[in-house]
Chains A and B, each alone.
Chain A
Amino acid sequence: MNNYEIIYIIDANVEEGARKELIEKVNGIITNNNGEVVKVEEWGKRRLAYAIDYKTEGYYVYVAFNAEADLPKELSRNLGNNESVIRSQIVKLIEKKHSVKPRPVRAAAPAEEAEAEVVEETAAEASVETVEAAPAEA
């Protein structure tokens, strides 16, 4: 299972009833394929940043979901065939393995004890990452 999010734009001329049906249908495609709808946000009618098929407005819907890897393709194909959907985009959410960490700051101050100097020398041979850990052993 992967985490995804989709934004799709429904034609602003589609009436509320049909729109609700469409949103349910999209959610149904996800759940019927062993997926899980995590969150649905209706952003509502918005002005498009550029005209799509001569349309200047659209009804934005955002859905966060979990699904198997083959679902996004199927879902975007399905929405692509739907005339009420102006555009859609699915994004895979990737969990970051490493977070933003500050750059290791090299100690500029000279070592006070002879022992500390030895530690520094051995650390210099090792990779940069281990330099940070070295003072803890001293």
Chain B
Amino acid sequence: MSEDRQARHPRGNRKPRRKVCAFCVDKIEYIDYKEFRDLNSRMRRNINERGKILPRRMTGTCAKHQRQLSEAIKRARAIALLPYSAE
């Protein structure tokens, strides 16, 4: 399977897709927007340097956790823990 994938992308400059959801692995039941207050929080891996939410296809997050995550990010933005978009 993984060989096929590599064959289709011979340049290999793409980041390999993480196959599992990091939140599922850690058995996270509630994604807490407050965790964004830590500038080094692992949660910040889910946003790019401009503050945009990264898509599931890049992070490997499952649909359920992605919904929770986007809600958490929006709450964190509302209280200025995260930017709406960096200029």
Chain A residues within CB distance 8 Å of chain B: 7, 9, 43, 46, 48-50, 52, 58, 60, 62, 87-89, 91, 96, 99-100
Give the interface SS of chain A, mostly helix, strand, loop or mixed.
strand
Closest 4 CB pairs of A and B: A48-B80, A49-B83, A89-B79, A49-B80
CB contacts under 8 Å to A, within B16-65, are: 24, 27-30, 33-34, 37, 51
B58-87 interface with A by 8 A CB criterion: 75, 77-84
A126 to B28, CA, bound (A): 31
How distant is A101 from chain B, measured CB to nearest CB, in Å? Answer: 10
Shortest Cβ distance from A41 into B: residue? B34
Q: Tell me which residues across on chain B come within 8 A of A50, comparing CB atoms.
A: 80, 83-84
Chain B: interface secondary structure?
loop
A87–B27 CB distance below 8 A = no
Among B24, B29, B79, B81, which residue has its beta carbon within 8 angstroms of that of A99? B29
Q: Which residues of A contact B79 (CB under 8 A)?
A: 7, 9, 87-89
List of B residues within 8 angstroms of A49 by Cβ: 51, 77, 80-83
Nearest Cβ distance between residue B70 and chain A, in whole angstroms? Answer: 15
How far does the alpha carbon of A48 sit from the alpha carbon of B78 in the complex, in Å? 11
How far is B34's CA from A43's CA once the two chains are assembled, in angstroms? Answer: 11
Residue contacts A-B, CB under 8 angstroms, 18 given = A7-B79, A9-B79, A9-B80, A43-B37, A48-B80, A49-B77, A49-B81, A49-B82, A50-B80, A62-B34, A87-B78, A87-B79, A89-B75, A89-B78, A89-B79, A91-B33, A100-B28, A100-B29
List residues of chain B with CB within 8 A of the CB of A100. Answer: 24, 27-29
Q: How far is the CB of B40 from chain A (nearest CB, A)?
A: 14
